[in-house]
Amino acid sequence: MNRIVLVGRLESTPELRHTSTGIPVSNFSLSVRIGRYARFHNENGFGIWLGIHFNNWKEYGGTPIWLAFYESDFGRAREAQPILEPWAASKGIFSTSDESEFVMAIKIETGEEKDQVVRSVVDQLKCIADQLSAM
């Protein structure tokens, strides 16, 4: 028997039905993210998740790379949002939020060499860290 393990967050209630021969079949939508958790500045700083957020990329386009602050003691989304949202808007950086997170797009330049792309992402993260250090 082959086995596949999918890790993610269910986006809807799975629908279980049976084929005409009695085999159970289920349909569901799964949110999958590839990324890493980190913290800005020091142990008291803002916690982030940085990575590929397929659902945001599908919905908003532009970039697959997103920076997320979750509403928790780690992420502190409601503290980060009032600082970063106006700043992001002034820089033309897309951001959005819902009840559990505040996310910002990380711009990825196309047609650039790898080192230039990495430098651009690092520079964007440094600018975000500078904005948060004002707290």
The verdict on residue 93 lying in a domain is yes
Contact 60, 105 (CB under 8 A): yes
The answer to whether residue 21 sits within a structural domain is: no
Contact 17, 7 (CB under 8 A): no
Q: Is residue 127 part of a domain?
A: yes
The contacts of residue 84 (CB under 8 Å, 6+ apart) are 69, 95, 102, 104, 128, 131, 132
Confidence of residue 123 (pLDDT cuts 50, 70, 90): very high
What pLDDT score does 3 carry?
60
Is 8 within a domain?
A: no
The pair phi, psi for residue 125, each rounded to 5°, is: -65, -35
**Is residue 62 included in any domain, yes or no?**
yes
pLDDT in tens, 31-82: 666 788 888 876 668 999 999 888 888 888 888 899 999 999 889 999 999 9
**Is 47 inside a domain boundary?**
yes
**Number of folded domains in the chain?**
1
Is 51 within the bounds of a domain?
A: yes
Which residues constitute the domain of residue 80?
A: 32-132
17 domain-assigned: no
CATH number for 53: 3.30.1460
